[in-house]
Structure 1
């Protein structure tokens, strides 16, 4: 037997409700919860002495329960004669002061200003089923009747699921009338028995009637969620709708987790109630393969500040790996946001405990202690060193963060894409962020967050020997493909014997290996890098290929200032930066009567348009006509290196086909855990090398670069970078 309507419009039909209550009988039908769920809101706005009108009462027990709690001046109306007769019979003796009347709420037989409260539980939702003109006219008539019967200072309490079109209609009508509109989320409305009928949370609109002032357009709009002690003022109906929508999405997320926990991997933001900005991002990860025990149902992992972009924390695959290794059936990973301050692990736990427990898996034992975890037990350090705006790149900031083993890293972040590290460099161990030193002296008052450091922090030393980005390491490794005899210095054997041990160019090399060793580090390389960023890539080539000449092209003049001031970059005889559009710069070089020829051309330039399927390089840089210009300025046995970031598989296939048409020899190297793919392109296919040859060339190049007096990070192994290279 169908007790729910086939279409939403049936809710507005008197015939439907007559049929509904005849079929259902005297058993109560509680839309949107009963007295226990609603009493907290009712007690705020309904006084025992108030005269209350309940519109569309149905056979709900809410009026009866209110009567028994002392609210005895209650009049109930409904369009259904069947239900009115049922309710009169049920309450005639037990509740003699309460009345039930059959009445159409669009035209009621009450005097003006007769009531202090009008209570509506689901009736407005049943009428406002669409936004057609006839429906909106019916709602206007309903609101006009409610307004007429309420005294000034009276309240219209409307219990609703708060669909967007309903909220807009309520706000629009009563704001024009000069009323105050406040929206409460019903505490626990998306829990218990209520959620068996409705996944979405229940809200109460409280419209307070003020005396209308002619010409006044003041809107008073407020929202009070279940976590908040006091209402928060919002500026517009759109903001109110958005705030409600966030609560509804949260309830849907919880429902999704409970219905299908084995397939769950969802994320959501929790915002600062006052500022409205994201404060925490929660990633919910389930590990069905973990065997359940009493103590491994649920845990919360706090991602240290500044490390949310790392593969382990910033990708779905990484988070799954971490959750499985942690050994919990459900792990909530919490990322902390910039421009927010946190009072240590205990403060975060106090803030989050109530909210994250709502995301606990079904079957969590009662009174279960849920652990809060982190790396090393702390929440990390993030210090904002500088913040500015570029005319081309928008807002950006320079921040220092603490990584593993107490190392600190400096990062350039564009706030238009705040989850991507644009450039990164390691700080020398003696250059810990000065913004943190003072806090360490007073642990009792220590707070962690995005702190602004003093200007002198710009002078902290950058470790120029370390490439933070895996794709930069792979791009450097690609220089091992250079085999042009013109790059070899004359009388190599004599050079190796006379310069070894001087801390300048090369390790001491046995004569038996001299003919095999490839002295590229001593070669007179000319390298063109499109895209400067923090300058780490061109700086590394300049420092380690000690006779190289490096030119970098950067379209944004602000980035040259950033690289120089914050990332240890400097220009000199062998390092030049050109402020220009890379497209124009290459085109002008190619059009010259005698084009400059580079041994290596590198593209490490990103797109300013985040909506493109390919974010690096911009599409114009891989069009056929432009690639022909790149080939013109590339030496015959040179190498063209491209950092490709493309999430659109069809677009990527097209780019690869175009590249291969211009550069017949094409190698590809995927960066593990990232979208990046490094492409090594050469003009002549006859120079193709097998994988073992590539690895050996990488090993040889590394031996020439690792020389006395020059730091080298042991984690950087060029031959490993070339092991995974594939010929396309």
Structure 2
């Protein structure tokens, strides 16, 4: 303990290092890695005939080893510690004529200008920039200026560092402004794991003449697992990239020492594009007693299924880990912008990286199983991608579900883990009189999804609940044969208004959608169409309702809001806050018939905000039912302008069964998983 300084500032003083090396004696002190760890990287930037200056050499064996293996023939070492310099001279005297040791301060060197081809620094910059005080940072400037002075143009400053944020920022900022090429390497397998949890980096600063007026900067990072450096656009992004790697190292260190109390998430990025390629979640199951066979497993989520409850929520992943029976499970989601060479390719690509996330106590050379659903990585086909000024980037993709089912999805990339709209695809059926495919003809690929839309399918549980709620409409006979006017705010892929149009034969449906791009998507990719009973109005829902309230009150039997908010900073993602403000809700009530129904899909994670919304709804609508969607944040609110139509659970169940019986007509397709009465079993009156 006596070798540690009393304050970080002592790292930069000769007195501290004299005391340090006197107490340490003959034992070499190797900051940030031994020669075998540094050698592969240094070999790329050192030539035998280079004149090399090692600053802050201490009693490290680095210079001796560089000389002994023939990597460098002329090495000058300097240090502020007389004790260190004296001992190193004694150790190399008569044995290494090309290695010399001088008592000198790197902040004020006696060498002539442009005297060296390489300046090598192992930990000295970190020692000098021990804090962020103004006087300390000024020392860094003096050190850099001296290094720049003694280096030839084309020379290289190689700095081995832990890359604390202020140190890296200072070094990158200084040399990039001087017009030097800056490259940061992460050292592979570096450091004493007991001493340093953080990875070790090597800055390679190559001196070029500064061009007056030029603002061009060449900044690169080279992660440990790849040879090819990646270009970075700014010093801030370079510092952030290093910080990400440090965070990952800390995470791996924590995971190797103790069970993970909370689920941890991280992205692994593609080497070329630097976009996320895999998203990993680490889940520990305290209830599982580890044995040699069930310590650790990797679960590959099939493409397109990462949004499902089991894979896309903390609770679902926890259930998956427990049922899999492993002490630690790492789930791996595959990104839609990337290409994957099957399960074997993914396993080969991930094997080394995921082992860094292994739990404590994993037996040596343990074979870690890779698991999946059905043993494959699923099918995802991007059909269309575009950018809307209102909705941002979006994609339409076909994905394979369980068995032979395929689904078409609309996903807004600002919230890529949420499916905005989904339709089930139908396999093509031969037309009457059409010849069957000859056996010798080439069959379509099993990975090619069908294209026909199943209009009987409601993808979202909240859509099913919204339709079921129509049995709350007044009248003794709530069957779909009578005329009903419905306003739907929010189109998406159009499955909700399409279902109402097709299954309620006398329904006239008006849809309000603010984004014209969504109308094009719904029409082209989701089988949506307009007609006598289906009209779409491209307008802001707020403006459209306000206009109707001013012109034609009491127009609609049912009004449905299924519109998302683009502002992710608000604790309510559906609807936008303006849609649940009291003045606007009063306009909604104005255009709703006295016996009508207002249905709202509410997605609110802020408990206080949610209670405020419910209170406002109760002020405007005397009768309010709520249906929480199990396993989701969604809550469906059924609001009626009159308290006279209150129904009990038994009456609601009977009306729902009657409605379903009328909808399930012979010859008309019906999703057998959809039971209207089930949708209303958990309805509560607020």
Match of 2:143, SS state, is helix
The answer on whether the counterparts of 2:410 and 2:493 sit within 8 Å (CA) in structure 1 is yes
> Which of residues 472, 481, 495 in structure 1 aligns to 2:472?
481
Question: Is the Cα contact below 8 Å between 1:589 and 1:596 reproduced in 2?
Answer: no
Partner of 1:372: 370
2:121 aligned partner:
120
1:566-609 CA deviation, whole Å, 9 max, x = no partner?
A: 111122222222222111221222223x5133221111011122
Residue 9 (structure 1) shift: 3.1
Which residue pairs with 1:509 in the alignment?
Answer: none
Query: What TM-score does the superposition give when structure 1 sets the normalisation length?
Result: 0.87
State the distance in 2 between where 1:482 and 1:95 align: 97
Q: Given the superposition, is the C-alpha separation of residues 31 and 477 from structure 1 closer, same or farther in structure 2, using an over 3 Å criterion?
A: same
User: Which residue of 534, 539, 542 corresponds with 2:498?
Assistant: 539
2:234 to 223, 233, 236: 236
Does 2:348 correspond to 1:347? no
SS in 2 for 1:406: coil
Answering whether residue 322 of structure 2 is matched by residue 324 of structure 1, we say yes
Q: Secondary structure at the match of 1:340?
A: coil
- Tell me the residue number matched to 1:32: 32
Partner of 2:486: 527
Aligned residues of 1:280 and 1:334 also touching (Cα < 8 A): yes
1:100-139 matched pairs, under 5 angstroms: 100-139=101-140
Q: Equivalents in 2 of 1:580, 1:431: separation in Å?
A: 38
Aligned CA distance change for structure 1 residues 40 and 431 (closer, same or farther; 3 Å):
farther
Separation (CA, whole Å) in 2 of partners of 1:395 and 1:604:
20
Deviations 1:331-366 (A, max 9, x none): 221111122111211222222222222222233222
Provide closer, same or farther for how the CA distance between residues 579 and 431 of structure 1 changes in structure 2, counting only shifts above 3 A. Answer: farther
Aligned equivalent of 2:181: 180
Shift of 1:624: 0.9
User: Residue 572 and residue 212 in structure 1: after superposition, are their counterparts in 2 closer, same or farther (change >3 A)?
Assistant: closer
Give per-residue Cα distances to partners, 1:242-268, cap 9 Å, x unaligned. Answer: 322221221122123223324142111
> Counterpart in 2 of 1:198?
196
Mapped partners of 2:5, 2:565: distance in 1: 52
Residues 384 and 78 of structure 1, relative CA distance in 2, 3 Å threshold: same
Distance (whole Å) between structure 1 residues aligned to residue 409 and residue 638 of structure 2: 27
CA distance in 2, matches of 1:33, 1:147: 25
2:399 and 2:632 mapped to 1: Cα distance? Answer: 20
Q: 1:472 aligns to what?
A: 463
1:431, 1:461 within 8 Å by CA — same for their partners in 2? no
Measure how far apart 1:132 and its partner are.
4.8
Q: Which residue of 1 aligns with 2:437?
A: none
For structure 1, the residue ranges without an aligned partner over 5 or more in a row are 433-439, 489-518
Match of 1:56 in 2: 56
**1:515 corresponds to:** none
> What secondary structure is seen at the aligned counterpart in 2 of 1:520?
coil
Task: Give the alignment of 1:581-596 within 5 angstroms.
Answer: 581-592=540-551, 595-596=553-554
| C-alpha displacement of 1:562 | 1.6
Offset from partner CA, 1:609-642 (integer Å, 9 cap, x none): 2222111111011011111111222222322111
Match of 2:439 in 1: none
Q: How does 1:442-521 map to 2 (within 5 A)?
A: 460-485=451-476, 488=477, 519-521=478-480
Show the counterpart of 1:158: 159
Q: 2:510 aligns with which of 544, 547, 551?
A: 551
Contact conserved, 2:182 with 2:206, CA < 8 A, in 1? yes
Other structure's SS at 1:42 match = helix
Distance 1:703 1:335, change over 3 A: same
Deviations 1:683-728 (A, max 9, x none): 3335433334333332232222212121111111111111222222
In structure 2, the CA distance between the partners of 1:152 and 1:291, relative to structure 1 (3 Å rule), is same
- The 1-side partners of 2:321 and 2:31 are apart by 39
Alpha-carbon distance in 2 for matches of 1:158, 1:54:
10
Residue-pair matches, total: 674
Tell me by how many angstroms 1:409 deviates: 0.8
Gaps of 5+ in 2: 431-441
1:359 pairs, out of 354, 357, 360, with 357
Counterpart residue number, 1:564: 523
TM-superposed CA distance for 1:396, in Å, is: 1.8
Secondary structure at 2:454 match in 1: coil
Q: Secondary structure at the match of 1:358?
A: helix
Contact 1:296-1:328 within 8 A present in 2 as well:
yes
> Residues 425 and 567 of structure 1 are in contact (CA less than 8 Å); yes or no, is this contact kept in structure 2?
yes
- Aligned match of 1:278 in 276, 279, 300? 276
Using the TM superposition, give the Cα deviation of residue 229 of structure 1 relative to its aligned residue in structure 2, in angstroms: 2.2
CA deviation profile, 1:300-348 (whole Å, cap 9, x unmatched): 2211111111111111111111121112222221111122111211222
Say if 1:608 and 1:545 are closer, same or farther in 2 by CA, change over 3 A.
same
How many Å apart are 1:22 and its aligned residue?
A: 4.4
1:145 match: 146
Secondary structure of the structure 1 residue equivalent to 2:189: coil
Distance across 2 between alignment mates of 1:688 and 1:29:
82
1:518-564 deviation per Cα after TM superposition (whole angstroms, max 9, x unaligned): x4222322211111111111111111122222211111122222212
- Correspondence 1:221 to 2:222: no
The corresponding residue for 2:300 is 302
Q: Give, in whole Å, the separation in 2 of the partners of 1:595 and 1:558.
A: 30
Is 1:634 the counterpart of 2:592? The answer is yes
**After alignment, is 310-319 or 380-389 more displaced?**
380-389
User: In 2, are the aligned partners of 1:644 and 1:677 still within 8 Å (CA)?
Assistant: yes
Partners of 2:614 and 2:3 lie apart in 1 by 59
SS of residue matched to 2:559: strand
The aligned residue for residue 675 of structure 1 is 633
Aligned residues of 2:258 and 2:359 also touching (Cα < 8 A): no
Between the aligned partners of 1:219 and 1:431, the Cα distance in structure 2 is: 60
The answer (yes or no) to whether the contact 2:542–2:579 under 8 Å persists in 1 is yes
- Asked if the contact 2:297–2:371 (Cα under 8 Å) also holds between the matched residues in 1, the reply is yes
Equivalent residues of 2:553, 2:592 under 8 A apart = no
Check if 1:169 corresponds to 2:170.
yes
Does the 8 Å contact 1:467/1:536 carry over to 2? yes
Q: Deviation at 1:203?
A: 0.6
1:424 aligns with 2:398: no
Deviation at 1:27, TM superposition (A): 3.7
From the superposition, tell whether residues 214 and 710 of structure 1 become closer, same or farther in structure 2 (CA, over 3 Å): closer
Aligned equivalents of 2:116, 2:579: Cα separation in 1 = 72
CA drift of 1:212 comes to: 5.2
Partner residue in 1 for 2:42: 42
- The separation in 1 between residues aligned to 2:415 and 2:29, in whole angstroms, is 50
Indicate the SS of the match to 2:452: coil
Measured in 1, the distance between the counterparts of 2:510 and 2:669 equals 24
Query: Could you tell me whether the CA contact under 8 Å between 1:257 and 1:264 is conserved in 2?
Result: no
TM-score, scaled to structure 2: 0.92
Do the aligned partners of residues 441 and 181 (structure 1) sit closer, same or farther apart at CA in structure 2, a change above 3 Å counting?
farther
Residue 380 of structure 1: CA displacement? 1.2
Secondary structure at the counterpart of residue 542 of structure 1: helix
Give 1:89 deviation, angstroms.
Answer: 4.6
Q: Provide the C-alpha distance between the structure 2 equivalents of 1:427 and 1:43, rounded to a whole number of angstroms.
A: 58
Contact 2:260/2:283 (8 A) holds in 1:
no
Task: Report the Cα offset of residue 130 of structure 1.
Answer: 4.5
Post-superposition CA distance 1:20-53 (Å, at most 9, x none): 4445444433321222221211222223444332
Q: Structure 2 CA distance, aligned partners of 1:251 and 1:654?
A: 43
